[in-house]
Amino acid sequence: MQPFLALLALACAAGSTAEQHWCYEIQAKEPNSNCIAPAQWPGDCQKNHQSPINIDTSKAKVNPNLKPFTFTGYNQKKKWEVVNDKHSVKVLLGDGISIAGGDLPAQYQAEQLHLHWSKESDRGSEHSIDGKHFAMEMHIVHKKEPSSNEVQGAKDNIAVLAFMVKVGDQVNEGFQPLVEALSHISTPNTNTTMKESSLQNMLPQKEKLVHYFRYQGSLTTPDCSETVIWTVFQEPIKLNQNQFQEFSTKLYYDQERKLNMKDNVRPLQQLGDRQVFRSRAPGQLLSLPLPTLLIPTLTCLVASFLQ
């Protein structure tokens, strides 16, 4: 009898563990919820070099090595698979898309992009800039191309490009294929194929992509592995209000369609002993406000005139 009871207890414990999964705060607050809220996420999530963070632009140091990226395959038009993975909408990017430059130690292959959002336009981004959150945040996740000397779990194995998204007046045609796909993946673990689209058409103009911030951090979902080189671009993507609202109205966390997918955002983490760096765009002389630059110049001109 005792061995049977022991096996029964083990089976119950295993069943309980299987039922529990990580979730966002909005899900954990639901009645009868059995998921793990962000404060208790497992893995590396309780370590000290976590993401997302608030980026204080006044404390970001200029790094002259943060030069423009080389985007390969970003202009290719493809019909990507898009998935509701229970936590976000994910676009599977496949092969042939990569980045280099930007002071990255190697070439990185794009794997997927996903988004974080809220129903409100000022709380949907994971990162904040000078304390300001945006409507959404898009992450393009790249993995370092394998090499003979690659170290498992190295701090630079993943490179994520993060784009803030704000609400504007005009329809963003580059985002429209993704927006139109949302109604076909309303419930978890469903997928569809987007209309032909390119990554380049979803992003700000290329000349704007020279302004960005850089820091070392983690994945923003469990296991929160601290293996990510983060690049957070200064120029936001702009979506029309209707396009923005489609994400929080068409997608659901559950099969029963009781809880709309929104607020899929990890709370801000402490920067700790890390340093945030910023790029210096070509032709950018000094990161000083215009009056600071003009006053000495005008003083010299007046002095020369009076001599």
Active site residues: 87
| Cα end-to-end span (Å), the chain | 107
Angle at CA 290, nearest 5°, toward 129 and 169? Answer: 50
Q: How many CA atoms lie within 13 A of 107 on its CB side?
A: 11
Give, in order, the Cα–Cα distances in Å from 163 to each of 2, 66, 213.
58, 17, 11
- The answer for 209, left when phi > 0, alpha when psi is -120 to 50, beta otherwise, is alpha
> Which residues are CB-contacts of 33 (< 8 A; sequence separation ≥ 6)?
23, 27
DSSP state of 203: S
Closest CA to 197 of 222, 179, 221: 179
Q: How many residues does the chain have?
A: 307
Give the Cα separation of 64 and 150 in Å (integer).
Answer: 26
Give the Cα separation of 261 and 165 in Å (integer).
Answer: 17
What is the amino acid identity at position 47?
Answer: K
Number of H-type helices and E-type strands within the chain: 5, 14
